Structure 1
Amino acid sequence: TSMISLIIPPKDQISRVAKMLADEFGTASNIKSRVNRLSVLGAITSVQQRLKLYNKVPPNGLVVYCGTIVTEEGKEKKVNIDFEPFKPINTSLYLCDNKFHTEALTALLSDDSKFGFIVIDGSGALFGTLQGNTREVLHKFTVDLPKKHGRGGQSALRFARLRMEKRHNYVRKVAETAVQLFISGDKVNVAGLVLAGSADFKTELSQSDMFDQRLQSKVLKLVDISYGGENGFNQAIELSTEVLSNVKFIQEKKLIGRYFDEISQDTGKYCFGVEDTLKALEMGAVEILIVYENLDIMRYVLHCQGTEEEKILYLTPEQEKDKSHFTDK
């Protein structure tokens, strides 16, 4: 039970975690079994040493694994690993048991698509993204639109015109901000867009000529919500989960369809199998790479001792057991 998994999300404080570890150290000192006690205390001390290397939590959070594992040969081996994940990790975790917990890291790999949200109503607009379970507010602003009123007599038309003008300018500002946030290097940087709002602004925006065509084609859903701002953003996420989970599936289906089209038309623009695919990759000839999720293959580079000859092998776990692959025939 001396394997510690510690995950600290981006906005957490090192000082809070250090205090928590000090408390854990105190609790572990009371473990009755001497072997177990020393083992757990050793693991906690290792984590504390690792934390001292950081004066603040990195932008994407921090993952630490410390403890003693038993190797395949039955020997004990100390493991101390600390790293910043490749994208923000939205999980807080401290566990001390008989295995390292990597579920949160696996989740980071599976939720790769980033989706854009525009929440727009009569009081303001919010722009955000959702990637996996990480939501981020990119920008928000408020607006003061004149309300409809029945007064004014002859001026009523002028008031109506002013109101329409302000509304038009507001929709334009939202459309322009969307381009700044969701298009980078001439490409849309999200897998899809959700427009949400309580009034008909979202419909107006989606149909407006001012709304960039590239973004218009990415709109997945219009969502009716009862709030604006951050509460509206949360509600929009809840109401869009089904649509968002389908997007990845549809994209994968399209890719596979395109691959089979190339094969059936015999265009010569395709290859399959590990060796041919990796050769094409090394030549820089691959535009789209499709990888099977459970592909488990090791790449070995073998050097011949007498000559300078080099041999590359790609082996499955089953093939690895056959030692004849690693000796001269």
Structure 2
Amino acid sequence: MIESEAHKKYEFKRTLEALRSKHGRGTELISLYIPHDKQISDITSQLREEFGQASNIKSRVTRQNVQGAIESLLSRLKLIPKAPENGVVIFCGAVDIGANKTEMQTYIIEPPEPIKSYKYHCDSSFLLTPLEDMLHEKKTYGLIVLDRREATVGLLRGKHIEPMAHLTSSVPGKQRKGGQSSHRFQQLRLIAINEFYTRIGEVASEVFVAVDPKDFEGIFIGGPSPTKEEFESGEYFHHEIQKKILGLYDVAYTDESGLYELFDKLGEALQDVEVVKEKKHMERFLKELVSDTGLASYGDEQVRKNLQMGSVETLLLSDELRKARLTIKCNNSDFEDKRTVTKKPGEEEYQPGNCPKCGSSLKVAESVDIVDELSTLADQMGTNVVFVSSDFEEGNQLLTAFGGIGAILRYKTGI
């Protein structure tokens, strides 16, 4: 099976979840982050020093476990003359496996992005923050929705809309009080509008300037006319931010819900952003579910059957899907069964129960991650595979209402 970037990201995320569930009894788990340009000989020298210092650890068990982990790391480094282009991360230590037992475990990961700095870290859990940061979408857009009464500033970061600031104005309504001249009232109103726009620009500029410039793609402004046009032409942003305006859009709301309304208007402008692609697939899937053609299927068994028939055009998998396909067998009879079970890191092994034929204990003969199984089937049938984030409403619906598995069909099958 040829792995897509989305599938690699899913595997990487799942690996981190498994590592997050690992714990030592003391500060016995070692995390080693090696950048591409770090000399392996220098690391080896440091590890030998750490081995000597570990002899001062008072607890005999902790001392043995730390020194054992360092020895394991030294033996692994002999096989790595030079770190790969993105560097390499090695996790090693005595992991608590329950029943008052530990097991020396080692994991080697080539990260999807370059490691920036060398790290040797010893603790009761593995240091995962640098790798978890690589999962975060870097591409960021600024969002502003405003009218003359209020404004909301937010960030679209990957698949998340983050409301950052909400402002209200003191702009008087269009009805002037008795005794005020029309001209005087209009002047006061224009001054108040300008002050409000200035405040919006200052707050928004502060939010947007804080984003890493290489990740900041630009700004979208939403609101009624002529408010948004006045705001843009007035150049209320910091001059570097002003150049980043990408477009103006009509929206009805200017509170937090307006940010989501603005996002929904950005289809074409954001067509290369993954969340927009995922959203379009989910909208089509949900539409097919209620249409007369009914070119949609969901659930483990139904989708698998459709995949085997070659009727699936697009397979939709939640990136939060954590299930395994088990082959259950009995050693004393010919009983065999296939079961799909939820499988999360740190959970106890699935107990299949007793054989319905002879009553003896059943065994798990094979366990395959359901994403790998369905993706392989899809690849064999020329089916497009889309991983869907649960970070937006329709994506969360795929996970919670449809078991994390959906399909858009080429033709109706009745399954």
What corresponds to 1:56 in structure 2? Answer: 82
Structure possessing the higher relative contact order (Cα contacts under 8 Å, 6 or more residues apart)? 2
List gaps (5 residues or longer) in structure 1: 116-131, 133-191, 196-221, 225-242
The offset of 1:31, in angstroms, is 2.8
Residues 104 and 28 (structure 1), Cα distance of their counterparts in 2 relative to 1, 3 Å cut: same
- Corresponding residue for 1:90? 115
TM-score by length of 1: 0.51
Q: In 1, are the aligned partners of 2:323 and 2:342 still within 8 Å (CA)?
A: yes
2:298 counterpart SS class:
coil
Q: SS of 1:271's equivalent?
A: strand
SS of match in other structure, 1:299: strand
CA spacing shift, 1:276–1:48, aligned 2, 3 Å:
same
Equivalent residues in 2 for 1:179-190, closer than 5 Å: none
Aligned to 1:249: 275
- Counterparts of residues 77-226 of structure 1 (less than 5 Å): 77-85=103-111, 87-92=112-117, 93-109=119-135, 111=137, 223=244
Q: Secondary structure at the match of 2:322?
A: coil
Match of 2:319 among 284, 288, 293: 293
Equivalent position of 1:274 in the other structure:
300
| Whole-angstrom distance in 2 between the partners of 1:107 and 1:274 | 32
Structure 2 partner of 1:264: 290
* Larger helix fraction of residues: 1
TM-superposed CA distance for 1:28, in Å, is: 2.5
User: 2 CA distance for matches of 1:264 and 1:105?
Assistant: 41
Q: State the identity %.
A: 38
SS at match of 1:17: helix
User: How far apart, in 1, do the equivalents of 2:49 and 2:338 lie?
Assistant: 51
Question: Which consecutive unaligned segments of at least 5 residues does structure 2 have?
Answer: 1-26, 141-157, 159-214, 219-242, 246-268, 358-415
C-alpha distance in structure 2 between counterparts of 1:284 and 1:88, whole Å: 36
Partners of 2:277 and 2:298 in 1: how far apart?
20
Query: Are residues 283 and 106 of structure 1, via their aligned partners in 2, closer, same or farther at CA, if it must alter by over 3 Å?
Result: farther
Describe the SS at the equivalent of 1:311. strand
Q: Supply the distance in 2 between the matched residues of 1:37 and 1:319 (Cα, whole angstroms).
A: 29
What corresponds to 1:202 in structure 2?
none
Output the aligned Cα RMSD: 4.0
In the other structure, the counterpart of 1:327 is 355
Size of the alignment, in residue pairs?
209
Q: C-alpha displacement at 1:313, in angstroms?
A: 0.5
1:311 counterpart = 2:337: yes
The corresponding residue for 1:25 is 51
**Displacement after TM superposition at 1:8 (Å):** 1.9
Which one of the candidate residues 99, 103, 107 is aligned to 1:73? 99
Deviations 1:256-314 (A, max 9, x none): 11111221224343211122223334455443332223322221112354666642100
